Structure 1
Amino acid sequence: MYQLTKDLFRIPMKAEEVLCSTVYESEALKEFTEEPVKSPKIEEVYGHLKFPKAPADRPYVYASFITTIDGKIAFQDARDSALLQTNNFLDKTGGNAPFFVFMLQRAAADAVICGAGTMREEPNMTVHLYDVDLEQARIDNGLPPVPLNIISTLDGTDLLFDHTIFKKDEVPKMINTSPVGWEVVREKCQNPIFLVGPYRTIEDVDFVKLDRLLEENKGKIPVVVTGEGAQTDSNILFRILRHMGIERLLIETPVYTHHLMMNGLMDELFLNYACIYVGGGAMSIGLHSKSCTSTDHPHTKMLSIVNAKASPDHWFCFREAVIHGVKGRE
């Protein structure tokens, strides 16, 4: 039987202070049947957050970011992304309404991928539910209180092994890295770990042996090694996660989000849109990565738009289905 965590940071959020209104809702949402977390508070504040069934060979993948009117996901002088909400000074909820919705997107996830870069910018963060009622809703719906925190690193050199995530026993953890990254993790990680892999192709994965390995090493951090050299393979990782029972996978790292968008592996985006401008060279999704071209790029379809009842003009959450493989106009 799951219990509430005792040693994780909280932000109390009263339902009447974070109430949301639905501005737009697509007919496509009527086809979504999976509602992973239900509670009176969620229904009062947001309504019903439903998803399609996960594919058989990978989780249903969605990303969630706080973004500005010009697509920035952090200030350049203070890179904690939550400041885009709290420093949206015209939002009368003080950033609490968008933060509750952001936490709701976490609450629906079985696992969350966070990048080493995000961990460096936010050394005290862990991917858990800051609102205790959302954590309780997970427990009431048969989910563990904290989603699996998956730390993604290509070569291991950017990881902070003394980060808060590694110190909190109540946070379940996994590391995904490359063969090169495994050597770094094995040398520097102070937590008990065990190797899963390495897997160069999906054919290398023996799922019977994988189950036995996971069972024999409970209490240790699995380090899932995929790909070759200093490159990982997301298809292999996703297949393993789905076998482990991960149905919904949330992405909170901008670099990895761009990778998935470029490779046809992203299903949805939740963009918590703060009506502020940042500009310049501040962080954006996919910054410093190869851009899509004018003839080959993902598209989206709007699924829903919500805002805060107390501050309807200064924050919106856009939920968008990602459409890959759209051909150019003939």
Structure 2
Amino acid sequence: MAEDSAAHPTDGTQTGSLEPLELLYEEEGQPCFGLPPPLATAYHGDLGFTPPCVYANFVTSIDGVVALGPEYPSSGSAISGREPADRFVMGLLRACADAVLIGAGTLRATPRHRWTPDHVCPQAAPDFAELRRSLGRATQPELVVVTASGDLPTEHPALQSGALVATTLDGTRRLDGRLPPACPVLTTSEGSTVRMIDILAALHAHGHTAVLTEGGPHLIGNLLGEGLLDELFLTTSPVLAGRADTARPGLISGLELLPKQPAWMDLISARRRNSYLFLRYRLRLSDARVGARSAVAI
């Protein structure tokens, strides 16, 4: 989940000031972009994706909580403890992407956030920009907000800066005249739900073949339900969140996999910084489609 970095303005430092991650394991033969040297040093290795690719990035507590509930805005920051290494990895994954895909709930839960690489790790902004130039990417990844209902905080700064809003016909009608001029609308369905395959097809048609999603759990459930998620980056934060009367979701909502239809993943990379783990998984080819299911309202 995204973290709000408003309390962490740039301090004028550079990527080289970041303590490098410790490499624990890396599967051989992975694609490599050829990261600029400062990024490769901080990440402790190269990074790349075979297009088209949909990859997710989440931070979770040890007990599997990814969000603290609607009464705790920007709860990803609380879960991660605003760990600089987590913010760097988040920025790096955004810098690799053509588009960043989020659900309306994630937008509402992070009221000041902007889904750009430099927002979470401003000291690496020049190196992120160099990476995007080398990959032929636009200056910033396109933000794509998915909403079935059209219930969006239209004053959100991320929308004011410009984002593609993917919604249903009903959502389009609800948003008519309310969105900033910089927000085009992609109407994907006449029903009450959205299909992720239609959204990704539209993104691919615009040349967006590397798509990062930062949630939320319902959106991940939709992607898995349609067999569209390829990889998962998971930061395990050394904290226990606990659960009582507040709904505190795990990584996936709206979709049951075990015991009948497990979606197994293979660990292809592991890094650490102190007690934080940075894990990368690839969905097994045999589980690339966990079965067609009805889309979940977002």
- Please classify the TM superposition score into its range, dividing by the shorter chain length: 0.7 to 0.9
User: Aligned residue for 1:85?
Assistant: 80
* Structure 1 counterpart of 2:240, one-letter code: Y
- Count of aligned pairs: 267
Unaligned runs of 5+ in 1: 1-8, 55-59, 88-94, 193-219
Q: Does 2:177 match 1:184? A: no
C-alpha distance in 1, partners of 2:160/2:172?
A: 20
C-alpha distance in 2, partners of 1:221/1:66?
A: 28
* Structure 2 counterpart of 1:322, one-letter code: L
Taking the TM superposition and a 5 Å limit, the aligned residue runs for 1:132-151 are 132-141=125-134, 142-151=136-145
User: Aligned residue for 2:18?
Assistant: 17
Decide which of 21, 41, 44 is 2:41's aligned counterpart: 44
C-alpha distance in 2, partners of 1:53/1:117?
A: 28
User: Aligned residue for 2:5?
Assistant: none
Q: Does 2:56 match 1:32? A: no
Superposition TM-score, scaled by structure 2 size: 0.82
Decide which of 164, 179, 185 is 1:223's aligned counterpart: 185
C-alpha distance in 2, partners of 1:66/1:258?
A: 16
Q: Does 2:275 match 1:285? A: no
Question: Does the 8 Å CA contact 1:129/1:135 hold for their aligned counterparts?
Answer: yes
* Aligned CA distance change for structure 1 residues 222 and 187 (closer, same or farther; 3 Å): closer
Superposition TM-score, scaled by structure 1 size: 0.75
Q: Provide, for residues 234-278 of structure 1, a one-character-per-residue CA deviation record: whole Å limited to 9, x for no partner.
A: 212211211111010001112211111122110000001111111
* Structure 2 counterpart of 1:61, one-letter code: V
Taking the TM superposition and a 5 Å limit, the aligned residue runs for 1:102-121 are 102-121=90-109
Question: Does the 8 Å CA contact 1:135/1:146 hold for their aligned counterparts?
Answer: no
C-alpha distance in 2, partners of 1:154/1:13?
A: 41
Q: Provide, for residues 180-221 of structure 1, a one-character-per-residue CA deviation record: whole Å limited to 9, x for no partner.
A: 1110111422x22xxxxxxxxxxxxxxxxxxxxxxxxxxx43
* Structure 1 segments (4+ residues) deviating >6 Å: none
Question: Does the 8 Å CA contact 2:15/2:127 hold for their aligned counterparts?
Answer: no
Taking the TM superposition and a 5 Å limit, the aligned residue runs for 1:1-330 are 10=10, 12=13, 14-27=15-28, 30-33=29-32, 35=33, 38-46=35-43, 47-54=45-52, 60-76=53-69, 78-80=72-74, 81-86=76-81, 95-130=83-118, 131=122, 132-141=125-134, 142-157=136-151, 159-168=152-161, 172-189=162-179, 191-192=180-181, 220-254=182-216, 255-280=218-243, 281-287=247-253, 289-308=254-273, 311=274, 314-323=275-284, 325-326=286-287
C-alpha distance in 1, partners of 2:10/2:160?
A: 17
User: Aligned residue for 2:6?
Assistant: none
Q: Provide the identity percentage.
A: 23
* Aligned CA distance change for structure 1 residues 221 and 49 (closer, same or farther; 3 Å): same
Question: Does the 8 Å CA contact 1:151/1:175 hold for their aligned counterparts?
Answer: yes
Unaligned runs of 5+ in 2: 1-8, 290-298
Q: Please, what is the CA RMSD of the aligned residues?
A: 2.3
> How far has the Cα of 1:325 moved from its partner?
4.6
* Aligned CA distance change for structure 1 residues 276 and 18 (closer, same or farther; 3 Å): same
The structure having more radius of gyration, on CA atoms, is 1
* Aligned CA distance change for structure 1 residues 325 and 187 (closer, same or farther; 3 Å): farther
